[in-house]
């Protein structure tokens, strides 16, 4: 059997050009123009490419997206000061600081400085806490995008076994919470989990965000499961994920590709969060 490929590009395109674009038009009628600021420190090619995709998606949805660029040697004080200015600017509805940051800048200090109502990445302690408690909040973008991809397959997670491989604050932990909120039974695993195969054996859905190229292969995947691959790596000039796509696609019923899977959905979720922030602030 060959798995159905869940195209993040196609799902994101549909969301951007229908639901989100219509929401922006309604906001514009109220003289509210959703505005996103992306803070980019240094000259990392991967970050620059990601920022370019964010700008492209912003145009499709009809929101304004501006990039604030800083040299790699910018001081932490300057970054914090710029965040303060953004927090106080009522015309700006969302801000993200592109990670990673140079070593001399504290990620914790930067994230804690962002007004939670403008934290469209969903990284501040306030928004993470609200997510954990099941309260209305700005949900972390990659987990949110993953849930939208699963929804696009028509999958009802209630009663399903979901195995999450990866325990990061950005993906693993929040996506596990979101699955629990949909009444899934969630198993959390990571790179040091003993006998990982036994944890995967009964999984209906497998979400892999461990950060290791081709960490999971087809032999480990139950037949008919849905596989969401969050990883992206450049190996000898070729992109791959945390899952060996070729072997996994012979066992799974549906699987995300790399690239073109979770990545576009993460950006789409960021645009959606900006619009939600504008609706609340406006």
**How wide is the angle at C-alpha 3 spanned by C-alphas 255 and 146, nearest 5°?**
20
Q: Can you tell me the distance from the alpha carbon of 95 to that of 82, in angstroms, rounded to the nearest whole number?
A: 11
Instruction: Identify the CA nearest to 267 among candidates 59, 117, 77.
Output: 59
54 is catalytic: yes
82, 98, 199, 214: which one is catalytic? Answer: 98
Catalytic residue among 115, 119, 121, 229: 121
Rounded CA separation 255/248 (Å): 8
> Is 33 annotated in the active site?
no
* Nearest residue to 96 via CA among 8, 88, 107, 232: 107
Q: Per the residue annotation, which of 23, 35, 54, 214 is the catalytic one?
A: 54
Whether a cis peptide bond, with omega within 30° of 0, leads into 151 is no
Nearest to 206 by CA among 184, 190, 221, 185: 221
Helices (H), the chain: 8-15, 21-29, 45-61, 76-88, 107-113, 125-133, 141-152, 172-181, 196-200, 245-248, 262-281
Q: Tell me what percent of the chain is helix, strand and coil, each rounded to the nearest 5.
A: 45, 15, 40
Query: What does DSSP assign to residue 3?
Result: P
Does 144 participate in catalysis according to the annotation?
A: no
Write out the catalytic residue numbers.
54, 98, 121
């Amino acid at each position: 059997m060959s798995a159905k490929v869940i195209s993040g590009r196609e799902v994101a395109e549909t969301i951007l050009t229908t639901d989100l674009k219509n929401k922006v038009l309604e906001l514009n009628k109220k003289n509210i123009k959703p505005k996103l600021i992306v803070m980019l420190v240094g000259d990392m090619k991967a970050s620059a490419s990601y920022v370019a995709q964010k700008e492209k998606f912003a145009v499709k949805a009809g929101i304004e997206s501006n990039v604030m660029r800083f040299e790699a040697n910018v001081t932490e004080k300057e970054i914090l000061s710029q965040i303060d200015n953004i927090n106080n600017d009522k015309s700006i509805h969302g801000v993200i600081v592109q990670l990673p940051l140079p070593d001399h800048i504290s990620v914790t200090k930067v994230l804690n400085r962002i007004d939670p109502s403008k934290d469209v990445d969903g990284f501040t302690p306030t928004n993470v806490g609200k997510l954990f408690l099941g309260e209305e909040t700005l949900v972390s973008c990659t987990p949110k995008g993953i849930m939208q991809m699963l929804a696009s397959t028509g999958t009802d997670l209630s009663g399903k076994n979901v195995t999450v491989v990866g325990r990061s604050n950005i993906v693993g932990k929040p996506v596990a919470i979101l699955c629990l909120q949909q009444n899934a039974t969630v198993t959390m695993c990571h790179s040091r989990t003993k006998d990982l195969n036994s944890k995967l054996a009964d999984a209906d859905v497998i979400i892999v965000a461990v950060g290791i190229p081709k960490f999971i292969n087809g032999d480990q995947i139950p037949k008919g499961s849905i596989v969401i691959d969050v990883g992206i790596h450049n190996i000898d000039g070729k992109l791959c994920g945390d899952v060996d796509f070729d072997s996994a696609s012979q066992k799974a019923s549906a699987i995300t590709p790399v690239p073109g899977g979770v990545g576009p959905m993460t950006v789409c979720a960021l645009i959606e969060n900006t619009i939600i922030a504008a609706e609340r602030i406006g």
